[in-house]
Amino acid sequence: MMITTIDPSYRNFAMARIEVLGRYDYKVIDFRRPEFDLALKKKSSLGVIEQRLKGAEYLSHFLEHINDSWYDTTHIIAELPGGSQSARAAICTGVVLGVLSSTQDKINFVRPMDVKKAVTKQMKLEGIKLKTKHPTKHDIIKWARGKHPEAPWTNAIKYDEHYADAIAVCYAWEDLGRYLPMISVGGRK
């Protein structure tokens, strides 16, 4: 079974294509992220809201293209975005939620705390000691790279952090009982 997992955010949207081999047994096939920086770096006379709309359109096209090229995906699971620290960040979260909810595919969501708990559980099972209650972003990257050396890592922390989170989504999904209905949106799958 092939699944697509998503670590969604406005600027750092990351997806992983993962083959499910068995219970807690996954093989990471591919990572994708939109070249969002290139799309919006061009000097523009657009205001902030217009840029957000342009970004939403870009993310929407990216998702459509991925869903078409990763046609054998049976489940799409995304971490529910949240935790906005400012009004601007809240607008971006709203844009991402709108894009995710408008896709033609059914998306199951897991909560950020479920992802943290799943990674913490996996790290403890592997004998990795944590200095804090939950793993830091560097802990998660290190764990994911060690657990999935087959993945096409970029060795750029700013990207690998989000790819590691996308991998962690499948472990949270498994912990929650992968076939149980979760918060779902969308249509055809």
The token pair that represents 17 in the structure block: 């294509």
- 145: domain CATH number is 3.30.420.10
23: left (phi over 0), alpha (psi -120 to 50) or beta: beta
- Which residues are within 8 A (CB) of 144 and not within 5 positions of it... i.e. 6 or more apart? 151, 160, 163, 164, 167, 168
Domain that holds residue 36: 2-185
Confidence (pTM):
0.85
pLDDT for 43 beyond 60: no
Total domain count, the chain:
1
pLDDT for 39 beyond 70: no
| Residue that wins the pLDDT comparison between 129 and 188 | 129
What per-residue confidence (pLDDT) applies to 181?
47
- Summarised one tens digit per residue, pLDDT across range 151-166 is 999 989 889 999 999 9
pLDDT for 87 beyond 70: yes
| Residue that wins the pLDDT comparison between 166 and 55 | 166
The token pair that represents 29 in the structure block: 């096939």
